[in-house]
Amino acid sequence: EVHLLESGGGLVQSGGSLRLSCATSGFIFKSYAMTWVRQAPGKGLEWISSVNGGGTNTYYADSVKGRFTVSRDNSKNTLYLQMNNLRAEDTAVYYCAKDLSTSSSLNFDYWGQGTLVTVSS
């Protein structure tokens, strides 16, 4: 059974940093691209970053480019999102999602339950 479990969220001051993790199980992690999606309170979903299965290709939304870094440790079956210079508008629930292929096609199947990041100004 496939499981995705995000962690690392919390309350941080504006300008601060957090690292989110998405621990996975139930599939061959290195064979699938992964994506981070966020949802601000009461708002819709926003694609923010993806990484291919090998970790060699990364993609970012303009809203986070230069501040967030996606990475993965295929030996630990874990996806990461390093978030620096956080702003109030980064306040959201952050979800990880599994792609159906090794390249980032954004065809998803499984999602985690999300972790809440709150940035105080």
Partner 1 sequence: QTVVTQEPSLTVSPGGTVTLTCASSTGAVTSGSYPNWFQQKPGQAPRSLIYNTDNKHSWTPARFSGSLLGGKAALTLSGVQPEDEAEYYCLLYYGGAQLGVFGGGTKLTVL
- Which residues in this chain contact partner 1 in the complex, by CB under 8 A? 35, 37, 44-47, 50, 59-62, 95, 97, 100, 104-114
Rounded to a whole number of angstroms, the distance between the first and last alpha carbons of the chain is 40
As measured in angstroms, the least distance from the Cβ of 88 to partner 1 is: 21
Complex with partner 1: residue 11 or 100, whichever CB lies closer: 100
As measured in angstroms, the least distance from the Cβ of 97 to partner 1 is: 8
Complex with partner 1: residue 53 or 114, whichever CB lies closer: 114
As measured in angstroms, the least distance from the Cβ of 2 to partner 1 is: 11
Complex with partner 1: residue 3 or 15, whichever CB lies closer: 3
As measured in angstroms, the least distance from the Cβ of 32 to partner 1 is: 13
What angle (nearest 5°) sits at the alpha carbon of residue 65, between those of residues 11 and 86? Answer: 20
Complex with partner 1: residue 80 or 94, whichever CB lies closer: 94
- What residues have CB less than 8 Å from 15, skipping those under 6 apart? 85, 86
